[in-house]
Amino acid sequence: MNPPPHAEHHDPFAAKLGMWLFLVTEILLFGGLFIAYSYMRARYPHEFHHAGGSLSIPIGVANTAVLLTSSLTMVLAVAAAQRRSMKRSLLLTWTTVALGGLFLVNKGFEWASKFHHGVYPNSDHMASLPPGERVFFGLYFSMTGLHAVHVIAGMAVLAVLGSMIAKGRIRERNSVVLENGGLYWHLVDVVWIYLLPLFYLAA
Amino acid sequence: MTTIAEPLAHTQPSFLDAPGRKGLLGWILSTDHKRVGILYLYSMVAFFFVGAALGVLMRLEQLTEGRTLMSAQTYNALFTVHGVIMIFMFVIPGLSAVFGNFFLPILIGAKDVAFPRLNLASWYCFVGGAGLAVLSLFTGPGAPDTGWTFYVPFSMKSGTNVSLAVFSAVVMGFSSILTGLNFITTVHRLRAPGMTWHRMPLFCWSLYATSWIQILATPILSITFVLVMLERFFGIGIFDPAKGGDPILYQHLFWIYSHPAVYIMILPAMGAISEILPTFARRTIFGYSAIAYSSLSIAAFGSLVWAHHMFTSGMSSFGNMIFSLLTMIVAIPSAIKVFNWTATLYKGSIEMGPPLLYALTFIFLFCIGGLTGVMQGALAINQHVHDTYFIVGHFHYVMFGGTGFAFFAALLYWFPKMFGRDYNRRAAYVAWVPLFVGFNLLYFTMLVLGYMGMPRRYYDHLPQFHTGHLVATAGSWLLALGLLVLFGNFVAALLRGRKAEDNPWGGVTLEWKVPSPPPQENFEAIPTVTGPPYAFGKEGGP
């Protein structure tokens, strides 16, 4: 999303507008799944209630705390870059990446324990569940899976930005690049804030 | 533009002779919006001819009852691949990717789009996705046989290469999204001084409306196709009734994108027509703001009508009624455009030229396509003609008669500007005859066949449909002949065409003020605009 090298003048507003438009498309990407979720939830309210009870609220809330904290460190990283303290910005950016990693580790344990109990698509145990609960877990794996893919993508973006800061290629003048990376990271956070009540607190 | 009567001064070499890398690398690594537009043109026209060849083969199979050329499985693969190629690789990128890329910055007085590198990346997504789609034909268990709509549950169970084919559509979707956000940002940020919203040429308005549909609708298709892949790889169950899922949900999600996609295809076509008509009628467009805002309202209403593809899928009759009503409403902004175009011609000093002929053909064919569309929006008729050749005829009138002919018109209009070469105008007129006659023989016959009850996608037909199929197949040969003459003419012009004038049609929008082909940075100095876009015969006009 950065302006081209031969651009006449640097237009951070355009860069940010482009990023916001991209975020709109990301929200709509999840939007398709949210439509599926609302329809299925209206169709199977009791099964969703019951299946949601099998997810661990403490782990879900802990992960929410991790992601929210990572958004905070992200904001501070951008602010630091704008105030020209690049060392601090670098440290905060890598902290954000690390928190994203922590989130994924937690998520991995959660999925692993579900798999351990035979809850995964096409399993024999799933076949014994009522249809509504099978759809619930189908959506759970699709939506948290897609979200995890976005966490990984966000971490990759931030890692690139981190190495750019380290090499001195981000200055206060073009801090919009870092800001855009931050916007993407907040999107990842915001989507999770919706996933938590829809799945964990559904019970 | 009123203030810019004289051609703008230029000393730069044209973008075709620009310094820098030569040969293929100079093209596929260039972020110049004009080169990206031409890359799109070449790749899309190549796919168009593949798709057209598949269409001719399908018609050949229907020449006789029973087996003529191929097995039923091959026929299924043919109509699937024909649809995928024509929709995702020709009409969706369509005029927006080719002429939008080339002319949007010039028309608003900019040197390039807002994100030139992203623009090139979008072409790579397009070509990469198209490559995967081609790969899906020849690798694995064979070409997909589901129809381009990939309806579940069949697309979940089909043993053919569906996963790769839908993935290729997801990748091409990225290209569409990136182009859309690039154009929106370009229109917002890069208009020249004085180029207010209401001084923008109408092609820019239509691109702006299209771009919004591209970024709002395409993600839904991406996630839907991802779900089909998850369904096939892991059996996730959201669309599978055996696991509590719902196949109708797929249809909703699919059409939430794929109906607005129809407007992605047609809006830039309407925009190009709105450029051509004033130039050849030598007068300003009638109802500038009506045309501009009808583009936006088509974009808005077009997003709310998707379920009219599903009247026979078992929705509630209340739902059917709502979607039927909304469908009829879309006809209003479309008709506004048609009436304004006609009024533009009224009392104009019309000078005939190949672009105008094709533009008028667009209006005629689009009206048939639009009116048969309104017919199907009526629930009672829809019950009878759903999934028949009537549908096939209708959408070919809109997509081929509409977008296709507008594409030809735009190419005839802008070709001298893009390449600096003149094509043979007589040959362009000659090509029109088999194109027009063949088109109507082929697709009007389909409307009739469908009304008589010929179901779409059937490999074989009953004896009573034989004559109709014969006529349609003959029409397909004429149509193919016309396409060869039309594009043969372009190829001949590229190889040894005379040098084109800077303003062969006497147009007054900004692209006609720069040399043909345009210099690398379009404008030596960014122009200042002080008047409306189509000021013919007024101060500063010709």
A196/B contact by beta carbon, under 8 A: no
The whole-angstrom distance between A44's CA and the closest CA on chain B is 9
Residue B19 burial (CB count, 10 A):
9
B247/A contact by beta carbon, under 8 A: no
Whole-number pLDDT of residue A202: 81
Contact between B114 and B182 (Cβ < 8 Å): yes
pLDDT tens per residue across span B468-497: 999 999 999 999 999 999 999 999 999 999
**Cβ contact A4–B31 (<8 Å):** yes
Q: Where are the alpha helices (DSSP H) in B282-404?
A: 288-302, 317-345, 354-377, 379-385, 389-396
Instruction: Provide the token pair at A147.
Output: 């979200």
Q: How far apart are CA A183 and CA B231, in angstroms?
A: 31
Residues 112-131 of A with CB under 8 A from B: 120-122, 126, 130-131
Residues of chain B above pLDDT 70, percent: 97
Exposed/middle/buried for A18, CB within 10 Å: 0-12, 13-18, 19+? buried
Q: Count CA atoms closer than 13 A to B392's CA, side-chain side.
A: 26
**Cβ contact B184–A21 (<8 Å):** yes
* Crossing angle of the two packed helices B202-234 and B247-281, in degrees rounded to 10: 160
Nearest to A21 among B215, B220, B256 (CB): B215
Residues of chain B above pLDDT 90, percent: 87
- Spell out which residues of chain B touch residue A32, defining contact as CB-CB under 8 Å: 219-220, 222-224, 227, 253, 256
- Spell out which residues of chain A touch residue B189, defining contact as CB-CB under 8 Å: 11, 13-14, 17
Whole-number pLDDT of residue B23: 84
pLDDT tens per residue across span B295-323: 999 989 999 999 999 999 988 999 999 99
A43/B contact by beta carbon, under 8 A: yes
Whole-number pLDDT of residue B93: 94
Query: Does the pLDDT value for residue A75 go beyond 80?
Result: yes
**Cβ contact B238–A36 (<8 Å):** yes
3-state secondary structure A33-88: HHHHHHHHHHHCHHHHHHHHCCCCHHHHHHHHHHHHHHHHHHHHHHHHHHCCCHHH
Whole-number pLDDT of residue B539: 45
Whole-number pLDDT of residue B466: 95
- Spell out which residues of chain A touch residue B112, defining contact as CB-CB under 8 Å: 4, 7
| Residue located via tokens 């479309």 | B334
- Spell out which residues of chain A touch residue B246, defining contact as CB-CB under 8 Å: 39-40, 43
- Spell out which residues of chain B touch residue A4, defining contact as CB-CB under 8 Å: 31, 112, 115-117
B457/A contact by beta carbon, under 8 A: no
pLDDT tens per residue across span B6-57: 667 677 888 888 877 788 888 999 999 999 999 999 999 999 999 999 999 9
- Average pLDDT score over residue span A68-97: 95
Contact between A107 and B206 (Cβ < 8 Å): no
Which of B465, B463, B461, B439 lies closest to B451 in space, CA to CA? B465
- Spell out which residues of chain B touch residue A25, defining contact as CB-CB under 8 Å: 177, 181, 215-216, 218-219
Whole-number pLDDT of residue A170: 84
The whole-angstrom distance between A46's CA and the closest CA on chain B is 14
Q: Name the pLDDT band for B541 (thresholds 50, 70, 90).
A: very low
**Cβ contact A14–B114 (<8 Å):** yes
The whole-angstrom distance between B254's CA and the closest CA on chain A is 10
**pLDDT, averaged across chain B:** 93
**Cβ contact B235–A121 (<8 Å):** yes
Query: Does the pLDDT value for residue B285 go beyond 50?
Result: yes
Q: Name the pLDDT band for B3 (thresholds 50, 70, 90).
A: very low
- Average pLDDT score over residue span A20-48: 95
**pLDDT, averaged across chain A:** 91
Query: Does the pLDDT value for residue A3 go beyond 50?
Result: no
The whole-angstrom distance between B113's CA and the closest CA on chain A is 10
A141/B contact by beta carbon, under 8 A: yes
Q: What is the reported pTM?
A: 0.93
Instruction: Provide the token pair at A4.
Output: 């081209």
A22/B contact by beta carbon, under 8 A: yes
Type of residue numbered A203: A
B29/A contact by beta carbon, under 8 A: no
Residues of chain A above pLDDT 90, percent: 82
Residue in chain B closest to A121 (alpha carbons) equals: B236
**Cβ contact A11–B114 (<8 Å):** yes
B226/A contact by beta carbon, under 8 A: yes
pLDDT tens per residue across span B85-136: 999 999 999 999 999 999 999 999 999 999 999 999 999 999 999 999 999 9
Nearest to A28 among B31, B220, B236 (CB): B220
Q: Name the pLDDT band for B222 (thresholds 50, 70, 90).
A: very high
- Average pLDDT score over residue span A170-188: 90
Q: Name the pLDDT band for A9 (thresholds 50, 70, 90).
A: low
pLDDT tens per residue across span A86-124: 999 999 999 999 999 999 999 999 999 999 999 998 888
> How many interface pairs between A and B have CB atoms less than 8 angstroms apart?
120
Q: Name the pLDDT band for B191 (thresholds 50, 70, 90).
A: very high
pLDDT tens per residue across span A140-167: 999 999 999 999 999 999 999 999 999 9
- Average pLDDT score over residue span B210-220: 94
- Average pLDDT score over residue span B336-347: 94
ipTM of the complex: 0.92
B510 phi and psi angles, rounded to 5 deg: -60, -30
Whole-number pLDDT of residue B418: 96
Whole-number pLDDT of residue A4: 44
B422 phi and psi angles, rounded to 5 deg: -100, 135
B112/A contact by beta carbon, under 8 A: yes
